[in-house]
Structure 1
Amino acid sequence: MTHHTTSQAKAVLVLEDGSRYVGRAYGATGRTLGEAVFATGMSGYQETLTDPSYAGQIVVMTAPHIGNTGVNDADMESRRIWVNGYVVRDPSRIVSNFRAQRSLDDDLVAGGVVGISGIDTRAITRRLRDVGSMRAGIFSGDDAALDPAEQLAIVTGAESMIGRNLSAQVSTTETYVIPAEGESLGKLAVLDLGVKFSTLRNLAARGFEVHVMSQASTLDDVLAIEPVAVFYSNGPGDPAASDAHVELLRGVLREKLPFFGICFGNQLLGRALGFDTYKLPFGHRGINQPVWDKLSGTVEITSQNHGFAIDAPRDGVLDSPAGFGRVEVSHFSLNDQVVEGLRALDVPAFSVQYHPEAASGPHDSNYLFDRFRELVVSQRGTNGTSTTNDNTKDAK
C-alpha cells in the first residue's frame, strides 16, 4: 500500500468562455493548453490517459475518486500518456491494489502532465455540456500567479481542435509486426492513427499477422505487403483534416480489400464513401454509451472517445456519394441518435464509432472482431461463395 501526499500548491483551470476554477496542482506543475472534454468512466483511468485519441485534450474525469488502484505496466494502451492535461476532484491518497506498481501521481509527474485537483468536476462537466467543448488551460506553479486576463488571453490564443491533424504526433514511424495467434489468415495492414495495444491484441487473436504501419503510408506501401485486409485505428484530431488517409482508403475500397475501421477509422470511412463529418458539441467519452445495433436489434453498452461524427441519414439504404455503391448506417447512439457505424453493401467494408476492444470494459461489442475475421474468410472464397452483398452478417 503506497501513501502519497497531494500537492497544496495553487492551480487554476481557465476555460475560453472566461470560467475559472481554482484548485491544487496535481501531477506536473507549469502550464498546459488543450481542448477541455469530460470522460464518464468510473474505472479505466489508466487506459484513458494512455489512449492516443486524447492527444490535444485536457480530460475532466466525472468520477470523483481517481487513482485508488494506482498504475501498472500491463494496462498501458500505448507507450506513454497522451492527454495534454488532467482534471480530477479527489485524487486517492492511498494506492491499494495487488497489480499496482506506481501511483498515478508518479506517472503524471514522469510524463510531464500538468493537472489540477480539488475542484468541482460536476460543475465543469455541466458547463461543457451547456456550452460545448472549449479550449482551456491549466496554470500551476509560477503560472498560477499570472494575471487572470493574461491567462485567458493565452487560452483564447490556443489552436482549436477543428481543422487539426494530429495523426503524425501519435503514429508509429516504422512498421512493426505482431504475429498471428494460431493459424494465420494472412497479413493485416493496420494504419496507425493512434492505435491502442488492446486493438492489436484482439486482431492478432483472430489469426491476423498484424502489420502496424505509419499514418504516412501510401496505397503502394499498403499493397506491397499483400494484405488480406486493411484496418484503420482510432486517433485524435479532425477527420476533415485527413485527406491523405481518405484517399488511401478509397484506393483500398477500389481494390475490394476487406476493411474495418474503429472510431477515427469510422469517420474516415464515412468521408471515403462521400459523406461529411461534423464536430459534436461535447462529444461522447466514457464507458457507458448505449448504441443500437440495427442488424441484430440489440443494445450495446460501449466505450467511446470522439468529438466528431458522420453526417448521414440513419434510415434506409444510401447511395455512396463517392461511387462505392450502397451503404447503410448500421449503428446509432441511443443518447442523441448520432451515427455510430457504417456498413457498405457492395464493397467489403464496415466500421463503428466506438471501441470493441475496450480494455477496462464493457465487452458487449467484442464480437465485431469476429465479424471482421468472417468477412475476410468469406472474401477469400473459403466457403465457396462470395458475400460481397451481405458482408457483415451478425456474428454474435
Structure 2
Amino acid sequence: MGIDAMSQTQIQLDFNGRKITLVGTAHVSKESVEEVKETIKNIKPDCVAVELDEKRAESIKNPSRYSQLDLVKILKRKEGFLLLANLILSSYQRRMGLNAGVKPGDEMIAAMNAAEENKIACTLVDRPIQITLKRAWGKNTFLGKCKLLATLFASAFSNEEVDPNEIEKLKERNEMDSMMDELSEYMPVIKEVLIDERDRYLASKIWDSEGNNIVAVLGAGHLPGVQAYLEKLGNDQASSNVKELATLPKPGIAGKIFAFLIPACIIGLIVAGFIYGGVHAGTQILSTWFLWNAIPAAIFTAIAFGHPIAILVGFIGAPFTSLCPFIGIGFCTAIVQATVCKPKVSDMETLQDDVNFKGFYKNRILRTLLVFILSSIGSTIGTFIGGADIISILNNIH
C-alpha cells in the first residue's frame, strides 16, 4: 500500500493498484466546492463517495422539506430531541455558510453533480443522521446529556459571526486536531459517536464502493481517522462489516433497573410515610411530592411560553409521569402545545431561519420543542428535590 499526500486537504492511498483519494472539505467553504469539482474532473474516478446519507442528501436537494413536517407524529415516535438537535446543527452550519457565501453541503452537491455530469457512479457513504444522534443520546450519561443540551442551545442562541478565513482553517490538520482534543475532553462519548464511529463507518463504506479508482468527499475532520481505518482494511487488520454501528445501542440492564428504581423508591417512601407517620405524615409526604414535581414542570413550561393548557397539564401530570417509566411529562405538554397551537405553514417555511432566541418563541414548531425540553427538565429537577424532601420528612418522624 502506498500513500501520496497530494495536499493539505487531499490524501491519495494506493492499495495494490486500487486508488482511493480522500478530499477533506469545510462544509461551508467556496474553496471546497471548487476543489471537489476540479478533483473529480482531473482524476475521472470510477466512483465518487460522498459523506451523506439518503435523508441528508434529500434535505440538501429539497430545502422546503419541512413543509411536510408532522410534529405530532414526530413527538409520538419520541423523536422530539432528534428533530431539535438536527435543526440546531443544520442552522449553525447555515449561519456559518452565510458569511462564506455558500450553503451547508454545497460541496457535496457539487460532488454529486460532477459525478452525474461525467457519468460516474456516486454512492452515499455516511451513517443515517437519526442513528448517529440516537446513539449519541443513548450512550451518554445524565451529565453528558445535560452537557449536550447546553452545547446545542448555546450554539442556537449564539450570534457569533465566523470569518470566511476562519472557516478555511477548519481544513488544516492542526486546527482540526485542536478541536478534536477539546471535544474529546469535554464530551468523550459525543466525540466517539460523531467522529470515531463515523470514521470507521465512512472508511468501510468507501472501501466497499465499486471500482478501482475512488474519490471520497468528506469533512476535513474525518481525514485522519478514515485514512487510518482504510489502511487497516488494506492490510486485512480490520473488517468492513459495520452492522453494529448502524443499530441503536440496547439499554443496559442498569439503565432499565434505574428507570423503575426511582419510581419504586418514591412510592415506597410515600407508603412508609403512611405506615410510620399515620395519615398526617403520609398526606404531607404525598403533597410534598406532588408540589415539588408540579411547580417546576409548570414554571419551566411557562418559561417556554407554553399555552396555559400545556402549563396546567405540566402541573397536574408531572407528579404522575415521574412515577411512570414509560411516558414523560415533556411528551404530554408538547402534544398539548402542538394540538392547541397548531404550527402554520409560515412556521415550517421559516423553521431553519428561526433557530435563535427570538425564533424559539415566535415559531410554533420550535416553541413546542422548547416546551418539550424545558418541562422535562423541570420535572426532573422536581423529582430529585422532592425525593430528598420526602427522605427529610421521614427522618423527622419519631
TM-score (norm: length of structure 2): 0.28
Which has a greater percent of helix?
A: 2
Q: Which has the higher strand share?
A: 1
Bigger CA radius of gyration = 2
Higher RCO (Cα < 8 Å, 6 or more apart): 2
* TM-score of the pair, normalised by structure 1: 0.28
